[in-house]
Amino acid sequence: MSKPDLAIFDLDNTILNGDSDYSMINYLVDINLLDKAAKLKNDEFIKDYQQGQLDFNQYTNFALKPYIGKTQDEINEIIFPFVERIIEPMINVFALKLIHDHHDKGDTILLASATNELIVKPIAERLSINHVIGTKVEFKNNQCSGDFIPPSALGAGKLKLVERWMKAHQYDDFSGVTFYSDSINDLPLLEEVEFPKAVNPDTKLEAISNERGWEVIYLPLI
């Protein structure tokens, strides 16, 4: 019996109308877990990300700092309300339809995001997606260390983590695999799959998609 086809979805600016990591930092400022200067730093990092020039180590140290020393349960007390209040309204209903279409075909759905798994896993649960890849966060003695476990799920790191996941789930190659993303940062994985789909792409990804004849999908931002 053949395995179901695999559909991989990026999260930020693909399923969501916005960036979950960026929104999380601003939320932490709003609830006084970070000072207001963090918003300015956050703006600098998002610009670097959009240009495909993000220093991921530096950004992760910044993004995980509020969780250092906290247990998973304590972190969930921060993140679960964030998902309900901030992420829920960001979910693009047209992206949901893409997910549901694959589900109806019997495809396996994998959410693969560079955002850390502290945020990605609760969002995946809300989306009823069982298979999830996010940047893994290190815990020591059941407390967040503030470090991530390489590789990050950004760029070539996302490709590597997806390949590991595929091997563990008996997917031998990328034939029949679809990947939806908005970002030039996901180029390594887009280049490997059989069906690359650029969703509301950034300028660089849009240009490459047009050059290579990849499908470009423009979803209304509602």
CATH number, position 137:
3.40.50.1000
Residue 83 domain-assigned (yes or no): yes
Average pLDDT, the chain: 95
Active site residue 186: no
| CA–CA gap between residue 91 and residue 119 (Å, rounded) | 14
Q: Per the confidence metrics, is the pTM higher than 0.85? A: yes
**pLDDT band at residue 55 under the 50/70/90 scheme:** confident
pLDDT score, position 60: 86
**Active site residue: 12, 21, 186, 202, which one?**
12
Residue 32: Cβ within 10 Å count:
8
Q: How many domains does the chain have?
A: 1
**Active site residue: 10, 21, 182, 186, which one?**
10
| Nearest alpha-carbon partner for 117 in 105, 125, 108 | 125
Residue 171 domain-assigned (yes or no): yes
Residue 70 domain-assigned (yes or no): yes
Active site residue 43: no
Could you please report the per-residue DSSP string of 101-135? HHHHTT-EEEEEEEEEHHHHHHHHHHTT--EEEEE
Question: Domain residues for 78?
Answer: 6-217
Residue 1 domain-assigned (yes or no): no
Residue 222 domain-assigned (yes or no): no
**pLDDT band at residue 1 under the 50/70/90 scheme:** low
**pLDDT band at residue 219 under the 50/70/90 scheme:** very high
